[in-house]
Structure 1
Amino acid sequence: MGQPINDKHAIEVAAFIVAFERPFSERSIEALLGLQELLKADYPAFNKIGVFKISFGDKTAPSQPSNKISGVLLQKFRTDGRPAWALRVENNNIIVSCFDYERWEPSSSKAIEHLKKVINIIYVYDEQNPLGIVALQVIDRFVSHDDGYDIGHVFNRKTRYLTKQAIEAGSLWHVHQGWFREEKTVDVKYSCLNTLNVSASSGPVGLISTIDHTLECRFKQGLSVCEALDEDFLRDIFGLLHGYNKDVVGDLLNSRQKKRIGL
């Protein structure tokens, strides 16, 4: 029987992502070094992300690190060494990854708070760099410890998201698909791309059933950084994507698993 990887839910990681249309300027990247002090209570580990020069066609010239940095990586670890939270800012992306997920409200509120602190820094030097995408990635996992694998132990056999071949394939299978969710209101300024990767694979602790769902809110015209800093903007967008994710996961899982994780 498939067991959620956590007591109250099956979420391994929830990643909160904002992407701008152009890479951040050098001045913004330099200013990001201030995050080490600003967020040290939440992310004790701080690292610069270096730029590597790659030489093509010259076998005698190995890749070399540059003095420049392309971004920063901040992390908080659990006592066993596994990550609990991570904040990565690089090129044109800001990503907050929550590995220590509780429930939506406390986890999303903390992630959004940290995203806003980074956007405030970016705003100073990249005010004219539009925000193009807000995305949410959620990875759910279920572990089967016994030998009698049955896809119905985790998944709803009648779900629209699994193929007949996957249902009949046995314990190792993979379905990767994507679609745009159409919005009905006339004044919608974005489209929502869903990328869904569902699989069953063998792992060190048994068979792992995985639902990897990424939802990208793509704005038809880039939003100004000022708009992105609106008090309720990120909360509303991520809340919308969270609702979409629950719809998909709810369709994929059987009734017993949904009850287990409170869905």
Structure 2
Amino acid sequence: KNYLPKANHVEKFDFKIENDQLTNSSNKVLGGIELQRINEDGSIGWILRVSESSISVHCLNYTQWASVFDEAFGYLKAAFKRLEGGDSLISSVGLMYVDRFVHNKDPSTSNLSELFQEESDWVFKHAFNSKNKLWHNHIGWYEDLDEMSCLNQLKTSASYVNINNNQKLVVTVDHNAIISGESNDFKEDGDSCKKLEEIMNKLHGMNKKVLGMLLTEEVSARINLGGL
């Protein structure tokens, strides 16, 4: 409560389908709980969300992986502690990053090749020549991560966003790295969650690898990709 003082119930609706027809019968039930920490400016800083099928931690105050993961991991372990003695099993572990790059000048002057490598296989070539600067790209692939297989889902896009009453061109990089396996793959000895910690650090390394093969060297150096 001291760290995530604001609590909200997550509600869901159950609908009945009979003979391929949606009936008028629906039932609103509790689907989970969401704990939040609010920043001084009123924005959300952290979220811990627990539902029937997932536990997720969301950080909107990102600085560096080491410090952010230390706090996020503490929330995860606290949530897992509440599940002890039950029959819940971990079937997959994922890490999601959303990075946004804002072009602060006239959108017409933007040059995508200053942000992304033109030879990258992960952005379709038309994006570099889009006349209105708008585009969308979504790809996925599997990659070996030690003895496990990692699903990468990469969505990149350019859109206009209103920021302080000014229209800005924003390029978004949305990357999911997900490892699925048997329950024994994630089984822990004791309550240290050491195996989960190792997996999360490997997923973080995968994200840095993807960004390193997507961003130009100049941008990677500017955001200190090696130290994130």
Pairwise same-fold verdict (TM > 0.5): yes
| Number of residues of Structure 1 aligned to a counterpart in Structure 2 | 214
Structure 1 length-normalised TM: 0.75
Where does residue 253 of structure 1 map in the other structure?
Answer: 215
CA–CA distance in structure 1, aligned partners of residues 104 and 11 of structure 2: 41
**Where in structure 1 are there 5+ consecutive unaligned residues?**
1-39
Q: CA deviation at 1:58?
A: 6.9
RMSD of Structure 2 on Structure 1 (CA): 2.0
Code of the aligned partner of 1:239: N
Where does residue 192 of structure 1 map in the other structure?
Answer: 150
Where does residue 7 of structure 1 map in the other structure?
Answer: none
Where does residue 204 of structure 1 map in the other structure?
Answer: 162
Where does residue 125 of structure 2 map in the other structure?
Answer: 164
- Residue pairs, 1:167-246, within 5 angstroms: 167-170=128-131, 171-183=133-145, 188=147, 190-205=148-163, 206-219=168-181, 221-223=182-184, 226-227=187-188, 229-246=191-208
Structure 2 length-normalised TM: 0.86
SS at match of 1:227: coil
Structure 1 ranges of 4+ moved more than 4 A:
55-59, 61-64
Code of the aligned partner of 1:84: G
Q: CA deviation at 1:195?
A: 0.1
CA–CA distance in structure 1, aligned partners of residues 186 and 32 of structure 2: 19
Residues 81-133 of structure 1, C-alpha deviations (whole Å, 9 max, x = no match): 2110000000110000000111000101111111111111112222xx32110
Where does residue 145 of structure 1 map in the other structure?
Answer: 104
Q: CA deviation at 1:256?
A: 1.9
Aligned partners of 1:119 and 1:225 also within 8 Å: no
2:96 maps to 1:134: no
CA–CA distance in structure 2, aligned partners of residues 258 and 224 of structure 1: 33
Q: Percent same amino acid among aligned pairs?
A: 31
Aligned partners of 1:178 and 1:195 also within 8 Å: yes
Where does residue 10 of structure 2 map in the other structure?
Answer: 49
Highest relative contact order (Cα 8 Å, sep 6+), 1 or 2? 1
CA–CA distance in structure 2, aligned partners of residues 58 and 256 of structure 1: 54
Change (3 A) 1:62 1:217: same
